[in-house]
Amino acid sequence: MISFRNIRKSFGPKQVLKGVSFDVQDGEVFFIIGASGVGKSVLIKHLVGLLCPDEGEIWLDGQEISKFDEEQMYPVRRKCAMVFQHSTLFDSMSCEENVALPLRKHKKLNARQAIAEARRLLDKVHMAEFASRFPAELGDGMRKRVAIARALTLDPTYILFDEPTTSLDPINARRVDHLIRELSNSLGVTSIVVSHDLVSIFTIADRIVMLYKGEVRLLGTPDDFRNTTDGVVRQFTRGLAQGPMDI
Q: Which is nearer to another protein, 154 or 219 (CB)?
A: 154
The pattern of x and - marking residues 31 through 70 that bind another protein according to CB under 8 A reads: --------------x--xxx-------------------x
CA distance 27 to 191: 7
CA distance 66 to 161: 20
Q: How far is the CB of 215 from another protein (least distance, A)?
A: 25
Q: How far is the CB of 74 from another protein (least distance, A)?
A: 5
How many residues of this chain bind another protein (CB under 8 A)? Answer: 22
Q: How far is the CB of 106 from another protein (least distance, A)?
A: 5
Phi, psi of 3 (to 5 degrees): -130, 125
Q: Which is nearer to another protein, 153 or 184 (CB)?
A: 153
Q: Which is nearer to another protein, 85 or 167 (CB)?
A: 85
CA distance 187 to 26: 12
Amino acid at 108: K
Count of C-beta atoms within a 10 Å radius of residue 231: 12
Q: How far is the CB of 62 from another protein (least distance, A)?
A: 22
* Of 48, 53, 42, the residue nearest 9 (C-alpha): 53
Q: Are 7 and 17 in contact (CB under 8 A)?
A: yes
Question: What ranges make up the beta strands (E) of 141-213?
Answer: 158-162, 190-194, 207-212
Q: How far is the CB of 184 from another protein (least distance, A)?
A: 20
Count of C-beta atoms within a 10 Å radius of residue 52: 13
The pattern of x and - marking residues 122 through 151 that bind another protein according to CB under 8 A reads: ----------------------------x-
Q: Can you give the binding site for another protein, defined by CB under 8 A?
A: 45, 48-50, 70, 74, 77-78, 81-82, 84-86, 88-91, 101-102, 105-106, 150
